[in-house]
Amino acid sequence: MPDVAITGPDGGEIIELGPARMRIMEDGSVTQHRLGIGEITLAPRSAGPPQHRHAQHDEGFYVVSGTVRFTVGDQDHVAPKGTLVMVPPGVPHTFANPGDEPAVMLNTFTPDLYVQYFRDLRAVVAADGALTPAATVEVMSRYATTPATDFA
């Protein structure tokens, strides 16, 4: 019988990315790479990544606490605690925390392709001291993800 993985509240792999903190809770090793799960904590009044599109994976966000603003193409959506946002491949999206308290989201990737993206961003921060939008877009390109320059 396969082992069950249990990640407690202090478990997982922590990746500090400036105003964002990612806690990888399932890196795909238990799910045979069908699913990756992370917990994102966004500092108050902070932006997320440049708006982008994934070509090879679905991404989900469940807002655990705070309020997150999702931008999908040219439309903004306010997502308070309890909101689920599912983003299929090809849909331009980004997110931000416009509020005065941290926002926490459960983040899923199917398949787990994007888990390594966060590890690569950590390496950029370690080497350069900070993330720039250009560096973020370069790392995205390694994982079938492109910036959304139009909303067609």
Q: Which domains does the chain have, with CATH numbers?
A: 13-145 (2.60.120.10)
Per-residue confidence band for 150, with pLDDT thresholds at 50, 70 and 90: low
Instruction: Give the total residue count for the chain.
Output: 152
> Residue 152: what pLDDT?
45
CA 139 to chain centre: 13
Q: pLDDT per residue over 52-100, tens digit each?
A: 999 999 999 999 999 999 999 999 999 999 999 999 999 999 999 999 9
Residues 95/99/101/103 CA torsion (nearest 10 deg): -20
Work out the number of other CB atoms within 10 angstroms of the CB of residue 50.
14
Q: pLDDT per residue over 21-31, tens digit each?
A: 999 999 999 99
DSSP-derived secondary structure letter, 7: -
Q: Cis (ω within 30 of 0) for the bond into 9?
A: no
